[in-house]
Amino acid sequence: MFFKKIPPRAISEYSEILKSLSPDKDFIGNKLYSELLDAIKVTKSNISLLKNKIKEIGVHAFQKDMNEINSFFDSLNKETVQLSVGKFTKAELIKRWIELQDKHLLPTFRRTMNYNQDSIGEIEKCLTRDEIEFAKGLLDQLLKPYLKGELTGNKLNDFTREYFYLNYTDYFEDNNYSPVKLIGVNDFNDKYYSNYDNWEQDEEEEEEIDSNDKQDQVESDLNDLIPASLSEIYYRNIIYSEDKEVVIKKPISKENIFLALENWISDIENTVNLYPAKLNFLSVFDDDKLLKTIRKHHGKTKYKELKNLCNNLYDYNC
């Protein structure tokens, strides 16, 4: 069933370790751990809010009760249609219709994937009026306001400006953005675009991470775990900002709209809410000298538990 309940994770089980290092509530370990738990709570709450928003849009579009909308969404992934451009479930077809509303993606559909006006019209005809209303609702009531921070209070642009010096506003506000994946591609970047000049980067001028600066090192390690969702948003923003025709050389994957949005929302929320808390905690505690001191004064067991907490945090998601 879509929107399955996420089971509780083990991060919350480490509070006694940090309290045992110092019961003082002002101890930095207790403060940073408390911030971490707060971030996890906000992340889970926002993911739940956004999943409910999708259900509400579905309830309105399909005239269903909230208690039956999940099973109705499931049925859309079972009903299939054969088109000139391939076989789709209704859940995949709704996503494809949404993708076709982004004018910047149309050249890719036409030139890379051999879509034409007839095949695009065929997709429109195969969707019911309710299904198109639902697709429009996802664009106008979920994706656009969410990226502007109107649904959760977290504006993605504020986060990316502070931590990655990136500005996404233009693409979000002026286009019918929806997340896409490319067939056979995990790392979405500019090499998959034609008619686009890559910016040159002088390797000698690239900043090297100071091995003595723990925050920089942790930030670099965490950056490696930033989800492809942010990379995809970033590259589409900078490449299409000039409003010229750019073609993606790889075909766009067919995706179930519900699972695609669930995974995308989870990626964004975990990054925006958890990244700062993880960065702060790991910058202090994932340090060999500190961990050796803890081992010396508090024993091997607490050293191992704290080391496990740090290791788990790098790839932890709600």
pLDDT tens for each residue of 97-117:
999 999 989 999 999 999 999
Q: Is residue 52 part of a domain?
A: yes
The pLDDT of residue 7? 36
| Rounded CA separation 282/308 (Å) | 12
Q: Which residue has the higher pLDDT, 286 or 23?
A: 286
Between CA 235 and CA 251 the distance in angstroms is 16
30-39, 104-113, 231-240: least confidently modelled range: 231-240
- The region of weakest confidence among 40-49, 177-186, 212-221 is 212-221
Structure tokens at 234: 């970033």
Residue 203 lies in a domain: no
Helix axis angle for 288-298 and 300-314, nearest 10°, is 150
The residue among 151 and 166 whose pLDDT is bigger is 151
Q: What is the pLDDT of residue 11?
A: 67
Q: Is residue 43 part of a domain?
A: yes
In-domain check, residue 2 = no
Residues spanned by the domain of 138: 10-196+211-314
131 closest CA partner among 248, 16, 257, 221: 257
| Choice between 273 and 88, residue whose per-residue pLDDT is larger | 88
The count of domains in the chain is: 1
Confidence of residue 222 (pLDDT cuts 50, 70, 90): low
Query: d(Cα 5, Cα 38) in Å, to the nearest integer?
Result: 19
Neighbours of 24 (CB within 10 A): 11
pLDDT at 147: 85
Residue 248 gets which letter from DSSP? E
Higher-confidence position of 61 and 314: 61
Q: What is the pLDDT of residue 225?
A: 58
Q: pLDDT higher for 87 or 173?
A: 87
Note whether residue 182 is domain-resident. Answer: yes
pLDDT band at 217 (very low <50, low <70, confident <90, very high): low
The answer as to whether 4 is a domain residue is no
Split at pLDDT 50, 70, 90, the class of 197 is very low
Give whole-number Cα distances, 153 to 42, 156, 262, 271, 274, in Å: 11, 9, 19, 15, 15
Confidence (pLDDT) at 27: 76
Q: Is residue 117 part of a domain?
A: yes
Classify residue 3: in a domain, yes or no.
Answer: no
CA distances from 229 to 31, 234, 242, 263 (A): 30, 9, 21, 9
Per mean pLDDT, which range of 11-20, 242-251, 258-267, 301-310 is the poorest? 11-20
Q: What is the pLDDT of residue 127?
A: 97
Most confident of 13-17, 235-239, 302-306: 302-306
Largest CA distance in the chain: 73
Q: Which two tokens stand for residue 181?
A: 């994946």
